[in-house]
A = this chain, B = another copy of it.
Amino acid sequence: MKVSFAMEKLRLFGQLHFVSAAVALMALFPISESRAADPLPSWNEGPIKHRIVRFVTDVTTKGSEKFVPPEQRIATFDNDGCLWSEKPVYFQLLFAIDRIKQLAPQHPEWKTVQPFKAVLEDDQKAILASGERGLLQLIMASHAGMTTEDFETIVTKWIASARHPRFQRPYTDLVYQPMLELLAYLRASGFKTFIVSGGGIEFMRPWVHKIYGILPEQVVGSSIKTKFELRNGKPVLVRLPEIDFINDKGGKPVGIHKFIGRRPIAAFGNSDGDLPMLQWTAAGRGPRFTLLVHHTDAKRECAYDRKSHVGRLDKALDEARKKKWAVVDMQRDWKVVYPFQLDR
């Protein structure tokens, strides 16, 4: 009622006044919003939450020495183990395994050839033992040979139907509630949020907008090559069984520079694969924020770090301690891990 009364008043003015009023209201908006409620309700009060809020307040406060213009507020997030879980192994590998099984009838030779034999026999140890070369063979056999449109359909179907072996839920349920809040908080504070993941860029793009609110063009990841072709006059992009780019370790700053073209002011990771991204981010001029998620919560999720095959956190943990980067202790800092654990 009150709003429509105000709108009536506003309708009296010309269009320029509408614009001025809208701009004035938009300027008030973030203040009202930030006073309204805790932007990080699933984070326990403590040093990490306080450091996040202080950093965001610093870079968004006009007149502050640490103010950063909105277009420079770039924040990059690893995906596996940082925004969603990565155990028992990277979910993308589970996708590749499901896809190999689906394609097996067309490939009778896979019954006797590794690493395909291991996949068909559900021998996870043998799959991992096939090493980088074996995993690459699985990725190529499952991710290449179709058009980009067909691959998008395949991923979209899998992500909607597959279930995590422990939680018996869609993989997209296994995202971290505190990180979802952090993404939303940063965006509400004028940040552009990017995923910078070792995972496949085309494996992530079909679902990240719905799950994380991150647009396809703000995803940086590993890729295979594609080729433009006219098929009966219809343009298609065909996915080739050839590595284009590995967006991991030193590849992460390379990928950031290639895709984003400037240095983030905040970076979030959880493993040694993220160390160069955090180093690159921290080395820029002006205020910087670098954070590692340390998986310390065997009960609600998993506990792993220095000895883990997937998501090893060893050198990066040492450097974080030395350089006083923020290190999330999941057990201590997070009220809940997954959205489905929230009291509703």
Contacts and interface: CB of A to CB of B under 8 A. Distances in A.
Contact of A19 (B32, B237, B244): B32
A5 B24 CA distance: 13
A29 B25 contact: no
Nearest to A206: B261
A2 interface: yes
Nearest to A234: B283
B228 A260 contact: no
A22 B18 contact: no
Interface string A9-43: 11011011111111011101100110110000000
A216 interface: yes
A267 to B, nearest CB: 12
Interface stretch (A154-162, A176-184, A250-258, A309-317): A250-258
Interface string A166-209: 00000000000000000000000000100000000110010001
Contacts of A35: 15
Contacts of A259: 217, 259
Nearest to A262: B216
Interface string A31-60: 011011000000000000000000000000
A21 B36 contact: no
A228 B276 contact: yes
Interface in A262-284: 262, 276, 279-280, 283
B17 A22 contact: no
Contacts of A219: 261
A6 interface: yes
Contacts of A216: 260-262
A290 interface: no
Residue among A12, A28, A235 facing the most chain B CB atoms (10 A cut-off): A235
A234 to B, nearest CB: 6
Nearest to A261: B216
Contacts of A33: 15, 19
A237 B254 contact: yes
A235 B279 contact: yes
5 residue pairs, one from A and one from B, having the closest CB atoms: A216-B261, A228-B250, A15-B32, A22-B25, A217-B260
23 contacts: A2-B12, A2-B13, A2-B17, A5-B9, A6-B6, A15-B36, A16-B36, A18-B32, A22-B22, A22-B25, A22-B28, A71-B209, A71-B215, A201-B258, A226-B254, A228-B251, A228-B253, A228-B254, A235-B279, A235-B280, A237-B253, A237-B280, A259-B259
